[in-house]
Amino acid sequence: MIPVIMAGGSGTRLWPLSRKAFPKQFLKLSGQLTMLQQTAARLDGMSVEDTVVICNEDHRFLVAEQLRVAGQSASIILEPVGRNTAPAIALAAMQIMKSVVEGETSPVMLILAADHVIKNTKEFQQVIETLMPSVEAGKVGTLGIVPTEPATGYGYIRSGAAVGEGCQAVEEFVEKPDTATAQQYLEAGNYLWNSGMFMVRADRYLEALKSFRPDIYEACEKAVANTTADMDFVRVDADAFAACPDESIDYAIMEPLSVQASSESQVVVAPLDAGWSDVGSWSALWEIADKCENGNATLGAGDTILEDTRNSFVYSDSRLVTTLGLDDVIVVDTPDALLVALKDKVQDVKNIVNRIKADGRTEHENHREVYRPWGKYDSIDNGGRYQVKRITVKPGAKLSVQMHHHRAEHWIVVSGTARVTNGEETYLVTENESTYIPIGQVHALENPGVIELEMIEVQSGSYLGEDDIVRFKDLYGRA
């Protein structure tokens, strides 16, 4: 069995913590690991091959770094553009089948989302084992969540007759219902939430895709025919994949298979009751979080004081956040944006994100602290013709050889040692020392030491945008 982790989501409903450049799958929302790391760690102890992670181009170094820090290995397939889950899984299946020798049994893909919470790992693993015999025999399996309430935010699965031990035939995939219909589903007892987690042999998936959606199959086949290796990443043909239709696995494969005329169901479901949540909103995160006697949950590195406050969720990134006389509210404080909302209104956070986009702002894309493959920077102050950043460079890492047309830079080393290339000169700058990079000067920054390099960069000039970078050479393929 090969885990295939889908890590390409944007998670806008958890703004301002989740943003385009750093969405929720890379955040620590439940425990000490990020959601991506938790997803991979959930398989510890199972008999699985190396994981395949599918992510978009912009997140490739985040994925690689988070897996490395957690001691987890994976093959990382890069999507040039987002085309939904059916094409993404096809890329994984085709890449997996490249290593299958003729006559060998095709591996089973365990398809998981990178941004789910599952509290009972033992039960999760047991359900996977329960599905395995049916999937190995050629059926498509899915994990259906035992519903705890008449939720309207999930699709449902109507289950039928027993298939083997612990599985049922899937009779129908149902769209998200209204409240009254959801209540009927809950009372009927044979409806499960559609979790978006699936199990299927790689060859069986491709066979079904070719049958029901040959257009997707052909586009992905062309994309995978021209893969290239880039460091630890697998790149597919960008033009071929861009021509692929946008479709989910539910519509492309699962629904057609479930209604296909046959004497025996092609799709089976195993019920999962293991404390699952897709953490699709701030209220969902409040529901799974540990709470005090007043029903309040807090998260983040900052301090909180909640006085006469009940059934609320407060996130503080760094500073003290206080509340007084509030009930059923969500407060999320980050260095550059603050969200205050009624708990029953948080599904509409996307409306705020849309307003930010429409106003030409950038708070939906990046945090104030921005991660790069060499480390990170924090924009701590800015004005009309200046910007101040705190830069952290990992040991052994090097920024690109570059120049700027519109800005000069002053670098002050706070800790560690910097190796600076400044025009024709290369020299070391150590703690409490500084250097100056004139406008138009070709330069580079490197950390030759074994501890992190921390420095303050003061930019000055007529234009300070990140697109004023001309890269001549780069270790990370960005030149």
The CATH number of whichever domain residue 181 belongs to comes to 3.90.550.10
Q: Which residue has the tokens 């699965």?
A: 157
> What is the arrangement of strands in the sheet containing 425-429, beginning at the earlier edge strand?
425-429, 418-422, 443-446, 401-403, 470-473
Q: Is the peptide bond before 16 cis (omega within 30 degrees of 0)?
A: yes
Whether 283 is in a domain gets the answer no
Whether 478 is in a domain gets the answer no
Q: Are residues 44 and 86 in the same domain?
A: yes
Whether 107 is in a domain gets the answer yes
Q: Are residues 51 and 79 in the same domain?
A: yes
Nearest to 235 by CA among 243, 223, 245, 246: 223
Q: What is the pLDDT of residue 3?
A: 96
Q: 10-residue block means of pLDDT along the chain (479 residues)?
A: 92 92 93 94 91 93 91 91 95 93 89 96 96 94 95 92 89 92 94 96 96 96 90 90 95 87 76 94 94 96 96 96 98 96 94 95 92 93 94 96 97 98 97 97 97 98 92 84
CA distance 171 to 60: 38
Whether 479 is in a domain gets the answer no
Identify whether the C-beta of residue 399 lies closer than 8 Å to the C-beta of residue 392: no
Residue 435 backbone phi and psi in degrees, to 5: -150, 165
Q: Are residues 380 and 456 in the same domain?
A: yes
Q: Which residue has the tokens 């999760």?
A: 124
Q: What is the pLDDT of residue 346?
A: 94
Q: Which residue has the tokens 């935010």?
A: 153
CA distance 407 to 404: 6
Q: Are residues 404 and 443 in the same domain?
A: yes
Q: Are residues 225 and 153 in the same domain?
A: yes
Q: Are residues 209 and 234 in the same domain?
A: yes
Q: What is the pLDDT of residue 264?
A: 65
Q: What is the pLDDT of residue 72?
A: 86
CA distance 461 to 11: 35
Q: Point out which residues pair with 2 in neighbouring strands.
A: 109
Q: Are residues 62 and 124 in the same domain?
A: yes
CA distance 303 to 312: 15
Can you read off the two tokens belonging to residue 397?
Answer: 């890492």
Domain final residue, candidates 277, 303, 337:
277
Q: Are residues 237 and 385 in the same domain?
A: no
Both ends of the chain: CA-CA distance in Å? 38
- Read off the pTM: 0.90
Q: Are residues 330 and 259 in the same domain?
A: no
Q: What is the pLDDT of residue 479?
A: 65
Whether 282 is in a domain gets the answer no
Q: Are residues 243 and 341 in the same domain?
A: no
Q: What is the pLDDT of residue 224?
A: 95
Domain that holds residue 115: 2-277
Whether 334 is in a domain gets the answer yes
CA angle 10, 14, 18 (to 5 degrees): 55
Amino acid at 366: N
CA distance 263 to 246: 31
Domain final residue, candidates 277, 296, 322:
277
Whether 363 is in a domain gets the answer no
Q: Which residue has the tokens 């030149």?
A: 479
User: What total number of domains does the chain contain?
Assistant: 3
Q: What is the pLDDT of residue 225?
A: 92
Q: What is the pLDDT of residue 263?
A: 47
